[in-house]
């Protein structure tokens, strides 16, 4: 059975748009990870959810406890779920928060590079003798709504993110893949930064198609 680790933020956790007071979460069958499990052959694929609300690439919050920086516990998470056939990394949205001093797409790309290097430093691949393949996902562009004050200017600062991430991936010889979610998925208009049910379905379909290409599987 092939194991796929999905390392992300609230959109991997399944945060329901606009539910900031109650933090409602979509059920497993609605979240893109659960839908992906069903789209792939459940008998031969195991989709592992590792989503955390507020997770950044490599930034610490001044007003939150430790653990939200993506690079911090990543080595332990990789070891926990090893061996791994693929690691999907979809982070960067929370880096765009205004409190992080208007972080640019290039700075986010540097954070993603740190995560790639962590994966490459391990031997947690399929035979536990090599590092696992990686799929880097460029996030959709945030929608400006009244709920996104903390993401002021994020739309402008993500314009070059897909380009920068693709260039980063191209610096690696093999086993690092890239997909841009923006042409396929749009955030909910409720808050401009979270997947609604339709987006979870769209993203699951995109991941299914991309993963099948990586593993040379028929549809």
Q: What is the pLDDT of residues 188-200, one digit of tens each?
A: 999 999 999 999 9
Average pLDDT of span 129-142:
96
Structure tokens at 116: 């790639």
Q: How high is the pLDDT of residue 108?
A: 98
Nearest-angstrom CA–CA distance, 123 and 152: 40
Nearest-angstrom CA–CA distance, 192 and 185: 12
Q: How high is the pLDDT of residue 203?
A: 98
Structure tokens at 199: 């987006």
Average pLDDT of span 26-32:
97
Which fold does the domain 2-214 belong to in CATH? Rossmann fold (3.40.50)
What does residue 214 show for φ and ψ, rounded to 5 degrees? Answer: -60, -40
pTM value > 0.85:
yes
Average pLDDT of span 144-171:
89
Q: How high is the pLDDT of residue 148?
A: 67
Q: How high is the pLDDT of residue 218?
A: 78
Q: How high is the pLDDT of residue 144?
A: 81
Structure tokens at 119: 């994966």
Q: Is residue 146 scored above 80 in pLDDT?
A: no
Q: How high is the pLDDT of residue 173?
A: 86
In this structure, of 13-17, 52-56, 110-114, 150-154, the range with the lowest mean pLDDT score is 150-154
Average pLDDT of span 78-103:
96
Q: Which of 175, 64, 57 is nearest to 105 (CA)?
A: 57
Domain ranges of the chain: 2-214
Question: Using N-to-C axis directions, what is the helix angle for 197-214 and 32-39, rounded to 10°?
Answer: 40
Q: What is the mean pLDDT of the chain?
A: 95
In this structure, of 30-34, 70-74, 133-137, 190-194, the range with the lowest mean pLDDT score is 190-194
- Inter-residue long-range contacts of 122-131, CB under 8 Å, 24+ positions, other chains counted: 122/75, 122/78, 122/79, 122/82, 124/78, 124/79, 124/82, 124/83, 124/84, 125/83, 125/84, 125/85, 126/2, 126/83, 126/84, 126/85, 127/83, 128/82, 128/83, 131/175
Average pLDDT of span 145-165:
87
Whole-number percent of the chain with pLDDT over 70: 98
DSSP classification of residue 138: E
Average pLDDT of span 16-29:
94
Helix (H) or strand (E) holding 90: strand 86-90
Q: How high is the pLDDT of residue 168?
A: 98
Q: How high is the pLDDT of residue 145?
A: 77
DSSP string, 29-79: TTSHHHHHHHHS-TTTEEEEEEE-TT-BSS---SSS-TT-BTTTSHHHHHH
Q: How high is the pLDDT of residue 51?
A: 98
Q: With cut-offs at 50, 70 and 90, classify the pLDDT of residue 147.
A: low
Whole-number percent of the chain with pLDDT over 90: 89
């Amino acid at each position: 059975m092939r194991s796929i680790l999905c390392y992300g933020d609230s959109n991997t956790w399944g945060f329901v748009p606009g539910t900031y007071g109650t933090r409602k979460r979509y059920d497993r069958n609605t979240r893109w990870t659960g839908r992906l499990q069903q789209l792939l052959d459940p008998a031969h694929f195991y989709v592992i959810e590792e989503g955390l609300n507020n997770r950044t690439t490599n930034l610490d919050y001044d007003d939150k406890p430790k653990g939200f920086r993506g690079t911090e516990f990543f080595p332990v998470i990789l070891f926990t779920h090893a061996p791994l056939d693929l690691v999907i990394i979809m982070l960067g949205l929370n880096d765009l928060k205004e409190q992080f001093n208007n972080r640019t797409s290039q700075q986010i790309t540097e954070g993603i590079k740190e995560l790639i290097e962590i994966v490459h430093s391990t031997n947690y691949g399929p035979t536990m003798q090599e590092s696992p393949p990686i799929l880097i996902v460029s996030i959709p562009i945030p929608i400006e709504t009244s709920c996104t004050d903390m993401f002021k200017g994020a739309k402008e600062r993500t314009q070059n993110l897909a380009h920068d991430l693709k260039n980063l991936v191209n610096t690696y010889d093999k086993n690092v893949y890239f997909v841009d979610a923006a042409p396929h998925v749009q955030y909910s208009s409720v808050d401009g930064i979270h997947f609604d049910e339709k987006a979870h379905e769209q993203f699951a379909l995109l991941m299914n198609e991309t993963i099948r290409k990586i593993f040379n599987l028929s549809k």
